[in-house]
Amino acid sequence: MNINGVTIEDTFAEAFEMKATRIIITAMDRRWVGHAAETMTGFATSVIGCGIEAGIEQYLEPEETPDGRPGASVLLFAISGKDLTKHLQNRIGQSVLTCPTTAVFSGLAGKPTAMGEGVRYFGDGYQISKLFGDRRFWRVPVMDGEFVCEATTGRIDAVGGGNFLVLGETAEQTLRALEGAIEAMGHLPGVIMPFPGGVVRSGSKVGSKYKGLLASTNQAYCPTLRGVADSKIGPEVGAVMEVVIDGMDPDAVSRATALGIQTVCAFGPENGILGITAGNFGGDLGQFQFPLHEVLA
């Protein structure tokens, strides 16, 4: 398969079931929404090292939020429901409760997961519970008034680790194409690309020669190791970059994969884009497979 002169390898991305939620953060204006949402989703690239993977799904206009203020929807993914609850509450406590003028709401139906339930104790007994319809909110007194936090959010089974890899002539060319792709994919609902700028350059394999290390560099895709180790890339490839996609369901991951690959391929070989492939573990580890040729059909 070939798009605009770029070869698409006949392989599949392997992804994993994760627990996910969506929350809505609102604030006085877009600037303070951004401060809270960016801080909360910082250092959230991988569940292994950060406990949680998180990102801003999109910024919201006032008419799209529960309290009619500017907002952002944030997606969070964890390995278990317990982990999700723990890290969600900690991150709200550190990055949203602290942030001037913010409030937090559930952005998803699903299995109830404690949110304000945990944060409310900061109120030291001065917090108040309010019921609107069947939704419960906690109002916690703080120095700028009250922090409103919905008691629970919903949790669903979702998909972590969707991905594709871009083989390019140089790092700069590959990133130029991926900057366009990440911008494009960022408009799709239900997905985040949790790594810095949406891109990973430290592709890994399972295991290591060092005891206790779960993952290590995937030498098959390292350009400097082409003569030293078994390599999967030709001499024309100077850089490989991966996009990792977490999505609320397989369709969302599939759509984002297709749009991302199409956008990268728009740059073509004349801008240094040589090939597309995907990362998998032979199909035995993950619950989901995304065959590139099907996704792009």
**Residue whose CB is less far from a second copy, 157 or 179:** 179
Residue type, 130: K
Q: Kindly tell me which residue out of 240, 245, 252, 292 binds a second copy, with binding defined by CB under 8 A.
A: 240
From the CB of 235, what's the least distance to a second copy, in Å? Answer: 14
Residue 157 or 169: the one with the smaller Cβ distance to a second copy is 169
Q: State in angstroms the smallest separation of the CB of 105 from a second copy.
A: 18
Question: Taking CB under 8 A as the criterion, which residues in 56-75 touch a second copy?
Answer: 61-63, 68, 70
Contact 236, 230 (CB under 8 A): no
Q: What is the DSSP string of 76-136?
A: EEESSHHHHHHHHHHHIIIIITTSTT-EEEE---SEEEESHHHHGGGGTT--EEEEETTEE
- 294 in contact with a second copy (CB under 8 A): no
Q: Residue 266 is inside which H or E element, if any?
A: helix 250-267
Cβ atoms of 191 and 247 closer than 8 Å = yes
- Asked if 227 touches a second copy (CB under 8 A), the answer is no
Tokens for 212?
């206790």
Distances from the Cα of 174 to the Cαs of 171, 190, 199, 270, in angstroms?
5, 25, 10, 12
Cβ atoms 56, 72 nearer than 8 A:
yes
Residue 101: CB minimum distance to a second copy, A: 5
Q: Which of 242, 252, 280, 288 binds a second copy (CB under 8 A)?
A: 242
Instruction: Indicate which single residue of 1, 2, 29, 236 sits in contact with a second copy (rule: CB under 8 A).
Output: 29
Which of 2, 10, 82, 121 is the binder for a second copy (CB under 8 A)?
121
The gap from C-alpha 273 to its chain's centroid, in whole angstroms, comes to 24
- Which span sits near a second copy by CB under 8 A: 11-19, 76-84, 90-98, 109-117? 90-98
CB of 134 to a second copy, least distance (A): 26
Distance of CA 253 to the CA centre of its chain: 11
Q: Is 256 in the site for a second copy (CB under 8 A)?
A: no
Question: Does residue 45 bind a second copy (CB under 8 A)?
Answer: yes
> In three state form, how does the secondary structure of 4-36 look?
CCEEECCCEEEEEEEEEEEEEEECCCHHHHHHH
CA atoms 96, 75, 50, 149: torsion sign: positive
Q: Does 230 bind a second copy (CB under 8 A)?
A: no
Contact flag: residue 94 with a second copy (CB under 8 A) = yes
Residue 222, interface with a second copy (CB under 8 A)? yes
- Do 237 and 166 contact (CB within 8 A), yes or no? no
Residue keyed to tokens 């699903």 = 110
Region from 11-19, 149-157, 191-199, 283-291 binding a second copy, contact rule CB under 8 A: 191-199
Strands 53-60 and 71-78: antiparallel
Among 17, 30, 154, 289, binds a second copy (CB under 8 A): 30
Contact call for residue 280 and a second copy (CB under 8 A): no
Q: Does 187 bind a second copy (CB under 8 A)?
A: yes
* Residue 138 sits in the site that holds a second copy (CB under 8 A): no
Q: Which of 82, 112, 130, 183 binds a second copy (CB under 8 A)?
A: 183
For a second copy, the binding residue among 21, 26, 41, 153 (CB under 8 A) is: 41
